[in-house]
Amino acid sequence: MASEEQLAAIKGAKVLMVGAGGIGCELLKTLALSGFEDIHIIDMDTIEVSNLNRQFLFRQKHVGQSKAKVAREAVLKFRPHIRITPYHANVKDPDFNVDFFKQFNVVLNGLDNLDARRHVNRLCLASGVPLVESGTTGFLGQVTVHVKGKTECYECQPKPAPKTYPVCTITSTPSKFVHCIVWAKDLLFTKLFGDKNQDNDLNVRSTDASSSSEHAEDVFERRADEDIEQYGRRIYDHVFGYNIEVALRNEETWKNRNRPRPLYTKDVLPPQPVEQNGNKDKASKTCDPTSVSAMAYLGLKNPQDLWSLKENSEVFLEALKLFFLKREKEIGQLGFDKDDQLAVEFVTSAANIRAASFGIPLHSLFEAKGIAGNIVHAVATTNAIIAGLIVLEAMKVLQNDVKSYRMTYCLEHSSRKMLLMPVEPFEPNKSCYVCSETPLTLEINTHRSKLRDFVEKVVKAKLGMSLPLIMHGVALLYEVGDDLEEDEVANYAANLDKVLSELPSPVTGGTILTVEDLQQELKCSINIKHREEFDEEKEPDEMVLSGWTPALAAEKKTKTSDNGPSSSNASQAVQPEPEDDDELEIILKDPEILSAGNKRKLSDISNTADSEVSRVTGEMQTKSHVEEDDTHTDTIMIDGNSDISKKKRVQ
Ligand SMILES: Nc1ncnc2c1ncn2[C@@H]1O[C@H](COP(=O)(O)OP(=O)(O)OP(=O)(O)O)[C@@H](O)[C@H]1O
Ligand SMILES: [Zn+2]
C-alpha cells in the first residue's frame, strides 16, 4: 500500500513513457492503476498481429493503428479521469528536445534498441530529469535508475559488441549450426539476392582462389538463357560440392577436424525436377510476393518438422527458383528479414545442407528462423514484472528517496526463493564521455581516412549522435541542420570526401576535435592519434576509439543474440547454444538490453563475500546448474532491506 506522501507524489507527477510495446503496455496499465494521472507516451510504431500475444492493450481490430494512441484509449476505458497524451512519433524527432523533456518529473523507457535508449539517456542528462530504464529478454529482465550526478548514466558502461565469429569459421570450418546459419544468411543469401557490390567472403574464402579463380568467376551470376532449374543446381553444386572439395585439398585444415562431405545435386536429387501434384499451379498463381513459399509448393506443412537432406535440397532449389520467378524485381537489394517466409526457407535449407556436409545436426525451419532472426521469445509475465518494478523505482525517484533506489535483475531460475535480485545503483563512471565529459582518443590514419569515415563510423555509429557538429579549434569542419546556407551545405559535403589531413583545417596526430550534438546537448573532445597500419581482421574500420573505459576492469564474456534492426551483418550472429560451460550463459535478445552493466554488476557481486549472491550469480553463469535445495520455489523476493540489496559495489 502506498503511503499518503507517495500517493501525493504520484498524483502530482508528470511522467514520460517512451515505447508502448511489450513493456510499455504493461507499464501504462500499471501506472494508471497505481494512481498516476498525467502520462505522456511516445511510440513510433503501429500495431502488428505479432504484438497481440503479449501487448494486452491491443486487439485484432487495432492492427495498423498507432500504438501510443490505442494504448491511451484502452487505458482510459478503465481510468477515464486521467490525462494521457500520446505521440505517434520517433523519440529522436527534434520536437522532443531538452525543453520538452524538462516538463517531466521522470522518464520511463520501454524501448527495444540501443540507439533510442542512448538518445533518451542524453536528453535526460541534459534536462536533469531522472530516467528509469528497462529491458527484457525471455525470462530475463532488468530495471535500472539513472539520476544525473547520483547514479551512473545508461552509457557509463560500454555495451558489449554483438557476438561475432571469425570469418574462417563461417566460410571454411563451421562446427555449430549457428555458423551454417550465418553463412547461409550473411554470405550466400546476400551473394545471390542482395547488393552485388557489397564485400562478401563467399568466393574468396570458401574456394582456393589461386587454383580456382576461373571456376569461381561470376559463378553466382545467372548466365544468359540459363534455365532457372539448371542455375539453381549449378549454384548448389558449386557451394556445397565444388567449394567443399577445394577446401578439402588443404590437408592442414582437417588434421584435427572432421572432414566435410562434398554434396552434389546428382547424389541427392533425381536428375529432373519433380512436379508436385497440382501444387505448382497454386504457387504460380500467388501474386503477393510475401506469401510466396517453397514449402507450400513442395507440400511441406509443419515448420517444426526436421527435413531430410533431400527435402532441404528441394526447398533450396525451389526457394531460389521462386525468388527469380516471383520476386525478380527485389533481387539485388534484398537483405535477410526473419519475417520474409521465402528468405527463411532459403536460409534454413542452405544452412541445413551445409550442416549435413559438415556432420552438424540439422534443424527445423522454426528453430532455424529463431536463430537467423535472433529471436528469443518474449514472455509476457517478465514484461509485467519489469513494468511493476519500473513503477516502484519511479515512486522512489519522485520522492527523491535516493537511498532506496535499486537496479533489479529478473533471473530465469530462482535461487534461495529469489527470482528478483535488487542491487544498489552505481555511482557515475568518471571516465564516461557522456556524463563526465572525459576526452576520447581516436587512432586513425589521418592520411587515408576521410571525414566521412569519421562521421559515419565514429560520430554516428559509435557515439550515437544524430545531428553532429565537428570543430577543430574555431574552424567548423562539419555540421547538419535545416538552417544552413547553400554554400555551407556544399562546403561540408566537400569536406566529407577529403582525407582528414587535407581538410581546410588539417586534422593530424595531436589534433583535438570537438564533436557536439545540438539536440542531445552532448559535447565531447576527441584526441586524434595518427596510426599507419591496422589489423584487417580485428580493426576492419581502420580506427580505434578508446578512453571510455568500464569502471571495473574484469569483464566476463556474454553471449548475445541481437534483436536490433533486421539488417544482416556478416559479423553479427546469434549464439543460442551454450558453447563453453565456463562462459556467462545469458542469452540476450538484444545486446543493449541486458548490457555490460548487467554482466559487470553480476560478476562484481559474485566476487563479494556474500555467498548467497554468489550462488545466484553462479547460477546465471552456468545455466544448466541446478540448485539442489530449490525445487519448489515460486516466491518472488523484492525486499529492499535484504542483505543483497545493501551490497555495495566493488571499487
Ligand atoms: N526511436 C523510437 N521512438 C519511439 N518509439 C520507439 C523507438 N524505438 C523503439 N520504439 C518503440 O519501442 C517499443 C518496444 O517494444 P517491444 O520491445 O515490445 O517491440 P515490438 O516492436 O512491439 O515487438 P517485437 O520487436 O518483439 O516484434 C516498440 O513499440 C517501438 O515502436
Ligand atoms: Zn555516464
Beta strands in 542-618 (DSSP E): 543-546, 558-560, 584-588
Q: Residue 476 belongs to a domain with what CATH number?
A: 3.10.290.20
What ipTM was predicted for this assembly?
Answer: 0.98
Length of the chain: 651
In this structure, of 95-109, 251-265, 631-645, the range with the lowest mean pLDDT score is 631-645
Residue 216: the pLDDT is: 44
Active-site residues, by number, are 168
Is pLDDT at 200 greater than 90 in this prediction?
no
Give the predicted TM-score (pTM) of the model.
0.69
Least confident of 335-344, 476-485, 547-556, 565-574: 565-574
Q: State the CB neighbour count (10 A cutoff) for residue 163.
A: 21
Considering the domain boundaries, does residue 429 fall inside one? no
Q: Residue 322 to residues 293, 516, 564: CA-CA distances in angstroms?
A: 8, 49, 28
Neighbours of ion ligand 2 (CB under 5 A): 153, 156, 432, 434-435
Do residue 256 and residue 198 come from a single domain? Answer: yes
> Is 619 domain-assigned?
no
Tell me whether residue 51 is in a domain. Answer: yes
Q: Is 559 a member of any domain?
A: no
65 and 121 in a single domain? The answer is yes
Q: Has residue 284 been placed in a domain?
A: no
> How confident is the model over 519-532, as a mean pLDDT?
94
pLDDT in the model for residue 275: 52
Which DSSP state fits 468? E
Q: Is residue 557 part of a domain?
A: no
Residue 162: which pLDDT band, with cuts at 50, 70 and 90? low
Q: What is the pLDDT of residues 135-152, one digit of tens each?
A: 999 999 999 999 999 999
Say yes or no: 248 and 355 in one domain. yes
68-95 pLDDT, tens per residue? 999 999 999 999 999 999 999 999 999 9
* Residue 141 three-state SS: strand
User: Which CATH number does the domain housing residue 195 bear?
Assistant: 1.10.10.520
Distance from the alpha carbon of residue 151 to the mean position of ligand 2, in angstroms: 9
To the nearest whole number, what is the mean pLDDT of the chain? 81
Within a domain: residue 262?
yes
385 shares its domain with 263:
no
- What DSSP character marks residue 174? -
Sign of the C-alpha dihedral computed for residues 183, 188, 193 and 199 taken in this order: positive
Tell which of 520, 546, 572 closes a domain: 546
355 with 495, same domain? Answer: no
Predicted pLDDT of residue 590: 37
Q: Which residue's CA is the closest to the ligand 1 atom numbered 22?
A: 21
User: Which has more pLDDT, 369 or 164?
Assistant: 369
Q: Which domain holds residue 103?
A: 4-161+377-423
pLDDT, tens only, 292-323: 999 999 999 999 999 999 999 999 999 999 99
Integer Cα distance of 479 and 489 in angstroms:
8
Overall domain count for the chain: 3
Judge if 65 and 154 occupy the same domain: yes
As a whole number of angstroms, the distance between CA 445 and CA 439 comes to: 19
Are both 507 and 529 inside the same structural domain? yes
Q: Is residue 37 in some structural domain?
A: yes
The helix/strand/coil state of 470 is strand
Q: Is the pLDDT of residue 60 over 90?
A: yes
Residue nearest to atom 21 of ligand 1 (CA): 21
Q: Whose CA is nearest to atom 28 of ligand 1?
A: 21
Cβ of 44 closer than 6 Å to ligand 1, yes or no, is: yes
Residue 495 has pLDDT above 70, yes or no: yes
pLDDT tens per residue, range 233-278: 999 999 999 999 999 998 888 988 899 999 999 999 988 655 554 4
Q: What angle do CA 331, 336, 340 make, to 5 degrees?
A: 85
pLDDT above 70 for 365: yes
479 lines ligand 1 (CB under 6 A): no
DSSP 259-289: PP----HHHHS-SSPPPPTTHHHHHHH---G
Contact 16 CB / ligand 1 (< 6 Å) = no
Q: How confident is the model at residue 289 (pLDDT cuts 50, 70, 90)?
A: low
* Ligand 1 lined by 135 (C-beta under 6 Å): no
pLDDT value of residue 414: 80
